[in-house]
Copies of this chain bind each other. A is one copy, B any other.
Amino acid sequence: MIKKLAIFGVGLIGGSLAKALRLAGVCETIVGCSRSEEHLKRAVELGVIDEYTLDPATAVGDADMVLLSVPLGAMRPLLEKIADHLAEGAVVTDAGSSKASVVAAAKLAFGEVPDFFVPGHPIAGREKSGVEAALADLFVDHKVILTPLPNTSPSAVERVTKMWEATGAKVQTLGVEQHDKVLAATSHLPHVVAYSLVETVSETDCVDQIFEYAAGGFRDSSRVASSDPVMWRDVCLENREAILDSITEFQANLGDLKSLIETSDADALLELFAHAKKVRDQHVTNS
């Protein structure tokens, strides 16, 4: 049971966690904190949080669990603001899409990464953002990856694990670097590609017609380009190296495929498409 949960950034992720924990009845009080009083008021009106404050120090004053679900670029200044005000025994975790950068931010804010800080990443999202998009069942059957460090307290990991399990999520642990590499390939690269797809289509001289005739293929392929731009700017900046590696590999693959089309290599095209279909059908379940 969590007595008081402080959520920084009451948007899609923070709001969905609040709703899920409330539904599960495992959290007494939820306080929200962000820079926008308007958003926080809305979150209270919607019943997502119990109370709010604009002051980070006040928010964490008597919280036994703290979630940082702000854009990656906001992690370090926020950690610096709460570092000296955390309650004794409080556990801090985050929901950032890259982990090395959050760990680095915690090290800078605290001098060393505290043993009560459990880096985490719920693998769930929607292309909609904001507290209005929050869903109590957003995490059901989704993975939450925790990337504890060698000095992280096992009891802190356990408390964060129980919190996420109460939302229906499945909690697993990975190394920090491994997390960042895997996510660059499965999540960050598809976002970068989707943004480029939309830009490509928007630049053609018959853009209205192109969108008029866009079928399900384009809709699905570009869906994540409707995600929150601030979040994805920060992901690109904070998981830079792993994303650049993924883009380079993708560019090589696309270049190879383009060459096959240029040379009208029917056999190799069929082989490539059949291979990709086999790999995807084997690993990805449509829903």
Contacts and interface: CB of A to CB of B under 8 A. Distances in A.
A277 B222 CA distance: 10
Contacts of A286: 127, 219, 223, 226
A69 to B, nearest CB: 16
A143 interface: yes
A230 B204 CA distance: 28
A103 interface: no
A120 to B, nearest CB: 13
Contacts of A195: 257, 272-273, 276
A213 to B, nearest CB: 5
Contact of A200 (B209, B249, B272): B249
A202 interface: yes
Contacts of A220: 190, 220-221, 223-224
B222 A217 contact: no
A76 interface: no
A45 interface: no
A201 interface: yes
Contacts of A274: 229
B217 A125 contact: yes
Interface string A217-254: 11111111111011011001100100110110111011
Given A230-B270, A237-B269, A286-B223, A213 B186 contact: yes
11 contacts: A185-B200, A189-B197, A190-B217, A194-B276, A208-B283, A218-B284, A219-B287, A220-B221, A220-B223, A243-B261, A251-B255
Interface of A: 73, 123-127, 142-143, 145, 178, 181-183, 185-187, 189-204, 206, 208-227, 229-230, 232-233, 236-237, 240, 243-244, 246-247, 249-251, 253-255, 257-258, 260-262, 264, 266, 269-270, 272-277, 279-281, 283-287
